[in-house]
Structure 1
Amino acid sequence: MGTATVLSVVLVLAGVSQAANILFMSGVPSPSHYIWLRPLMYEMGRRGHNVTVLSADIEKQPPANVTYVHLENFYSTMYNTSMRQKLNFFDMANESPTKMLKLFDEFGLNLCEAAIKSEGLHFLLGYPTDFKFDLFLSDFMIGPCVPAIIMHRFKGVPYIPTTPYNAPSTAATVLGAYAYSGLVPNHVFDAPESMSFMQRVKNFYYDLYEMILHDTLMHPEADRIVRKLYPDAPPSNSFYKNVRLSLANINPIIQYKEPLMPNMIPVGGLQILPPKGLPEDLRKVVEGAKNGFILFSLGSNARSDLLGPERIRNILTAMERLPQYQFLWKFESDESKLPMAVPKNVFIRAWMPQNDLLAHPNVKLFITHSGLLSTQEAIWHGVPIIGFPVFADQFRNINYCVEAGIGKRLSIQHFQADELVQAVREVLGSDRYSARMKRISRLFRDQKETPLERAVWWCEWVLRNPDADLLQSRAMYMSWFQKYSYDVLTFYLAVILALVALAWKLLSIVKHSFLPSSTKSKVE
């Protein structure tokens, strides 16, 4: 090998290993969103990069190279009285998709209003003027407003939007992808993959409504908020040109299939790490369960202690009627608030190490709200599911499980103890559900690298090639009206209507030219 070649290799390796300044923003005040992105934050820090995390959730003892900047008012904004009434998760199951879509946009705008009042954001914006970040990653669910503020302050920073929330159409369309209304249900629409004609009609409307809502509500309001800080800031959606690629919590093995742009990188299951040992109290319970244990958790937003006395009583009654199984229930309040005594076979804890419990060989079943992270972890570890979907993509997640034969769906709004007992007996009464789940688990795990390794490689690809925009689609710079050829269809429709009008006019002329002579001959 020549001297020049050796020198080239050394220079390339030096460029790859050079520490970069990376900014992560986990601004959605929901623990699951933070948990999904945290392994990537920590791994980038472990690899020697300087990682700054602007987050509603913080760690008291972060690992080396990771520094937190706290968005201290985000949880209080989400759970203030007026917003809490809108975000009553157990009532959301009754809301229309259009109302849900509008609520998501209002949620993002409320967080942006909170951000510009946050000491944490102002601390970040006060960094020295010559300081630069080499890469910026942000949860797409917060909307375009806060990222626009950051990208205006730190001009030219390459941007990677991330989405732990599957791949909502708005996240995919930022990269230029189509919203395939006939193929994939909108992320808030409760419909199966094989939609009926009327379901496709509705789904087309919801996708179109979401795009129009972004143009008429989200972006204009985001522009207004951004310009409170930076009056000279360009439109918030202009920063999409900084997008190099996106990391999405998707995997075609475990969800509905949809075409994606080449720079939408699937990292489904990013949060799934090797299991750790269980706390001593949990270890004794699960290892002492002769017939196995059942884990019951409704996630971090739809808290079990907010179910109400009647539903809690039905759940406890069902558990009591299944004494052969040990139940572990993530219940966030004190047992004294329960409407009945806790059965002997029920262990209650305010927090459960979900991934570690699902990895335990003694687990038999997972009763869940069907959140995406929970669904992925159950599939990864091969544990059948009973789902109580509450809102948004949870319906799509459990619908997939039902169609794949790996889970059963119940309604959180209207269920009795008998239904839960029957569902548990059905799922555990034969090997059908377990066998199918183990097969899909095997397929899900069979990857050339872990989702975390894939995410790291693509982040460092952007660091190595910060100006590389060759993966960007021309569709990123087109309006949705052009991208879907609605302008072309409008032109064709206008031509057809013009031809019809012309034909009608000619027919009228011909008719009137013959009508007088015909009438005259009749008179004679």
Structure 2
Amino acid sequence: MAYKLNLPFISLGAFIDPSVNRVPFNPSFMPTLFSSFTDKMTFRERIINTVRYVLLLLRPSVPSFETLSERYVPEKQRVSNEKIKQMSLMYIADNDMLLEFPHPVPSNVVMCGGLAAAPAIKLPDKLNDFVENSSDGIVVVSFGSIIKTLPSETLSKMIEAFNMVTNLNFVVATGKEVMNVKNVLMLPWIPQNDLLGHSKTKLFITHGGKSSVFEALHHGIPMIVFPIGVDQPANAAVITAKHYGITMDFYHFTIQDLVENIRNIAFNDQFKSNIMRASTIFHSRPQTPSERAAYWINLVTKYGNEHFRHSSLDMPWYSFYLVDVLITFITIGFSSVMCLQWICCRAKRKHKQE
């Protein structure tokens, strides 16, 4: 719509693609998109990370924007996914260094992670009674909207593990009506943010989605993460590396391992203090994520983006990645070697003739 009407626009998203958004990227310490590597990689991991980065650069362009622009804006030139994003005045990223490994961020990217996180409100009476009646606290279990219904085998293993931790109550989002047993309350939907903000919550068992981990950070709740796909393995790697919690395999975990990890994380001061410290930093900033986003939107609306827009957004890809410079160096080097070889061969022939 903005392209059709010649209107300036701002982009908002959860992921920053270095190749599209022209973000400086160094694969020696920056894991590629959706990677489970940390910022401290082994030599083998750095090789894999570099290969992944090169493959990401070489991947075909997503044709959706070109198709849409051709269909709805036929009077204008077709525009690619990369080009439309580079036309954006600014990129508001739903990210935060507290839930990422530190890395450089260009001037046109504003980190506003946690836009959806909010203070908790009072729980419904029935749910609140279940929470308050727990002896040592509760554990919130939710795998977000990515899994509408937990597989029956996985759910059975989890429930068996939960029943073995009798001093904790468990509130589980199952996606369907399920008979509740002992210390486990299973509901088709739960007020996740409000449960995480309750004073009796000790642990969050999650798939590691961006919104979920930001809510846990907001309320200072340690996590057990069962990453399933997309950005979740990367989020889980950060949570484990920063000791906000641990990672488990969604498809190959044992009941005993889950029981031990629940007891370890829920009552381990190290994990709680680490996530609480991060939460304190998150809340100590002069602006909330939404206030920060509003400030920058207002600034760009008034003054434009010329004062912070970097010129690499206008460069062709081969200039941005110095491919033309590299080819020039290779050509000079190859030409120099060929010249030296020709000189040596000529001198050798001349010597034989003499």
TM-score (norm 1): 0.64
**Amino acid across the alignment from 1:259:** P
Out of 371, 376, 388, the residue aligned to residue 214 of structure 2 is 376
On the 8 A contact 1:182/1:204 being kept in 2, the answer is: yes
For the residue of structure 2 that corresponds to 1:218, the secondary structure is: coil
Equivalent residue letter for 1:177: V
- Tell me how far apart the structure 2 counterparts of residues 273 and 428 of structure 1 sit (CA, whole Å): 23
Per-residue displacement from partner, 1:214-266 (whole Å, max 9, x unpaired)? xx3315x5323421233232232444464211111122233211111122111
2:143–2:173 Cα contact (<8 Å) kept: yes
- Map 1:212-251 onto structure 2 (within 5 A): 212-213=58-59, 216-219=60-63, 222-237=65-80, 238-240=83-85, 242-251=87-96
Provide Cα deviations, 1:170-197, integer angstroms capped at 9, x if missing partner.
Answer: 5xx42x3223322221122221111222
- Partner AA of 1:274 in structure 2: P
Judge conservation of contact 1:278–1:356 (CA < 8 Å) in 2. Answer: yes
Please give the alpha-carbon distance, in whole angstroms, between the structure 2 residues aligned to 1:192 and 1:241: 28
Deviation of residue 510 (structure 1)? 3.7
- Asked whether 1:160 is paired with 2:10, we answer yes
Q: State the Cα distance separating 1:516 from its structure 2 match.
A: 7.1
Equivalenced residue count is: 352
Does the 8 Å CA contact 1:167/1:249 hold for their aligned counterparts? no
1:190 aligns with 2:40: no
Measured in 1, the distance between the counterparts of 2:201 and 2:211 equals 18
Aligned-residue offset at 1:319: 0.9
2:156 matches 1:313: yes
Aligned to 1:351: 189
Match status 1:298 vs 2:143: yes
CA distance in 1, matches of 2:17, 2:87: 20
Asked whether the equivalents of residues 244 and 471 of structure 1 are also in contact (C-alpha less than 8 Å), the reply is no
CA distance in 1 between counterparts of 2:132 and 2:100 reads: 33
Separation of aligned partners in 1, 2:17 and 2:86: 19
The verdict on how the C-alpha distance between 1:184 and 1:154 changes in structure 2, with shifts beyond 3 A counting, is same
Give the letter for the 1:292 counterpart: G
- The CA distance in 1 between the partners of 2:72 and 2:15, in whole Å, is 32
Identity, in percent, stands at 24
Asked if the contact 1:166/1:249 (under 8 Å) is kept, the reply is yes
Contact 1:160 1:247 in 2 (8 A): yes
What whole-Å deviation, never above 9, does each CA across 1:31-85 have from its counterpart, x for those lacking one? xxxxxxxxxxxxxxxxxxxxxxxxxxxxxxxxxxxxxxxxxxxxxxxxxxxxxxx
Q: In structure 2, how many angstroms separate the alpha carbons of the residues matched to 1:281 and 1:475?
A: 56
For 1:73-152, what aligned pairs fall within 5 Å after superposition?
Answer: 150-152=1-3
Distance 1:411 1:249, change over 3 A: same
Q: Please state how far the C-alpha of 1:445 moved relative to its aligned partner.
A: 1.4
Q: Aligned-residue CA RMSD in angstroms?
A: 2.1
Structure 1 letter corresponding to 2:113: G
Q: 2:168 aligned with 1:330, yes or no?
A: no
Say yes or no: does 1:209 pair with 2:89.
Answer: no
* Structure 1 counterpart SS, 2:62: helix
Scaled by the length of structure 2, what TM-score is found?
A: 0.92
Aligned to 1:461: 299
Q: 2:222, 2:245 within 8 Å by CA — same for their partners in 1?
A: yes
Q: Judge conservation of contact 2:30–2:103 (CA < 8 Å) in 1.
A: yes
TM superposition shift of 1:470: 2.4
Compute the displacement of 1:270 (Å): 1.1
- Partner amino acid for 1:447? R
Unaligned runs of 5+ in 1: 1-149, 336-340, 518-524
User: In structure 1, what residue type is equivalent to 2:95?
Assistant: I
Unaligned runs of at least 5 residues, structure 2: none
SS at match of 1:159: coil
Q: Residue 502 in 1 paired to residue 345 in 2? A: no
The residue that corresponds to 1:288 in the other structure is 133
Deviation at 1:464, TM superposition (A): 2.1
In structure 2, the partner of 1:260 is: 105
Q: Match of 1:217, SS?
A: coil
Amino acid at match of 1:235: R
* Matches of 1:169 and 1:409, distance apart in 2: 26
Mapped contact 1:370–1:398 kept (Cα < 8 A): yes
2:18 counterpart of 1:169 = yes
CA distance in 1, matches of 2:15, 2:38: 16
1:492 and 2:343 aligned: no
**Conserved? CA contact 2:17–2:23, under 8 Å:** no
CA distance in 2, matches of 1:489, 1:473: 22
Q: Quote the Cα distance in structure 2 between the aligned partners of 1:414 and 1:439.
A: 32
Per-residue CA deviation, residues 449-494 of structure 1 (Å, 9 max, x unaligned), is 11111111122222223x4432211000012221121210111112
Of 245, 248, 265, 1:410 maps to 248
> Structure 1, residues 5-56: CA drift from partner, whole Å, max 9, x if none?
xxxxxxxxxxxxxxxxxxxxxxxxxxxxxxxxxxxxxxxxxxxxxxxxxxxx
- 2:227 pairs with 384, 389, 392, which one? 389
Partner of 2:290: 452
Distance in 2 of aligned mates of 1:197 and 1:233:
48
Change in 2 beyond 3 A, CA 1:179/1:371: same
Q: Report the secondary structure of 1:296's partner residue.
A: strand
1:270 to 109, 115, 137: 115
Please say if residues 179 and 207 of structure 1, whose CA atoms lie closer than 8 Å, have aligned partners that are also in contact. no
Q: Distance in 1 between matches of 2:352 and 2:153?
A: 78
1:516 to 1:343, Cα distance in 2 relative to 1, 3 A = farther
CA distance, structure 2, for counterparts of residue 167 and residue 223 of structure 1 = 20
Asked if structure 2 preserves the Cα contact closer than 8 Å seen for 1:168 and 1:186, the reply is no
Alpha-carbon distance between aligned partners in 2 of 1:327 and 1:473, rounded to the nearest angstrom: 50
